[in-house]
A = this chain, B = another copy of it.
């Protein structure tokens, strides 16, 4: 009963099989492998973006920080939700990669910015005044850190504000597939059709071993990205092993099937929790992450039954947790946890 994070799961069998196949013989290194040529084509098709520049890196932090550095000058700021991973959980990676830009917080309930909260954050920044940092990029996490999901219309509402202020827009899609499944949107609808300029397209959390694609819709940015990636040590010599993961991930809709499973396990958890007396949810459950609160003593009971998850601070007399379902979560894991919580 492992619900600590979707990065605690392994890789899907299809991905492992692809790695074994990719291991045959010799291959050109540093992204010139044949599998990468196919990956480029697959992702362009997936995103309906025939000109997009496509790159692979191994971690989400690298994908995000490299993407943001493309669009945030050292004397500028990335705007992101105050709970965004890029703001809180990357040990200052956006600052490092940009050469010292700021990440400025945007408020919003349930992990989501709104056009109003974004506009308010922008109005606190004295863009155009040389004494202030300037506007750089907007970064939207979808699925959010609160487990909620932006619809394409909500993304577009935010990028409309950003673009009216001359900013580029980044989507942190560490759980991109889960967001698509939750909304029924296509990859294009969720991104460039909604005003997104660059996407961190996550693979690791959803059944890969360690790979994220960066999809840049403006190919004029390609060479700068390549230099930044190399300089940061994120260009793999045996690159075929990144390519193979993403190829398998995109083949036969594996990525969407895995995410659909994880989301359905999230929904099953929500349904189960609704049956447990005294349990409340901090945020709406829209994908595979839940933030329940329950009476004191529940943690001990769940732990005794072998449930694993991260506890969260809670008001007196209560306990809180973050539960994450993944592609490998089983119905019996879910049901076992619910059983343990009763």
Query: How many monomers of this protein are in the complex?
Result: 4
User: Does the CB pair A227–B134 fall under 8 Å?
Assistant: yes
Chain A 140-184 residues near chain B, CB threshold 8 A: none
Q: Could you say which residues of chain B place their CB within 8 Å of the CB of A66?
A: 233
**Contacting residue for A91 out of B10, B133, B236, CB 8 A:** B133
Nearest to A12 among chain B residues (CB) is: B23
- Given the complex of chains A and B, what is the CA–CA distance between A301 and B341 in angstroms? 70
Chain A 190-246 residues near chain B, CB threshold 8 A: 204-205, 209-210, 224, 226-228, 230-238, 240-241
Chain A 295-334 residues near chain B, CB threshold 8 A: 308, 328
Interface presence of A19 (CB below 8 A): yes
User: Does the CB pair B59–A235 fall under 8 Å?
Assistant: yes
**A27, A91, A228 — which one has the most chain B CB atoms within 10 A of its CB?**
A91
Interface presence of A272 (CB below 8 A): no
User: Does the CB pair B231–A90 fall under 8 Å?
Assistant: yes
Question: Taking the nearest CB of chain B, how far is it from the CB of A324, in angstroms?
Answer: 11
Q: Is the interface of A mostly helix, strand, loop or mixed?
A: loop
Interface string of A52-78 (1 = CB under 8 A from B): 000001111111111000000111000
**Contacting residue for A233 out of B11, B20, B93, CB 8 A:** B93
Interface string of A95-132 (1 = CB under 8 A from B): 11011111100000000000000000000001000111
A interface residues, Cβ below 8 angstroms from B = 2, 4-5, 7-11, 16, 19-20, 22-30, 57-66, 73-75, 88-93, 95-96, 98-103, 126, 130-134, 204-205, 209-210, 224, 226-228, 230-238, 240-241, 308, 328
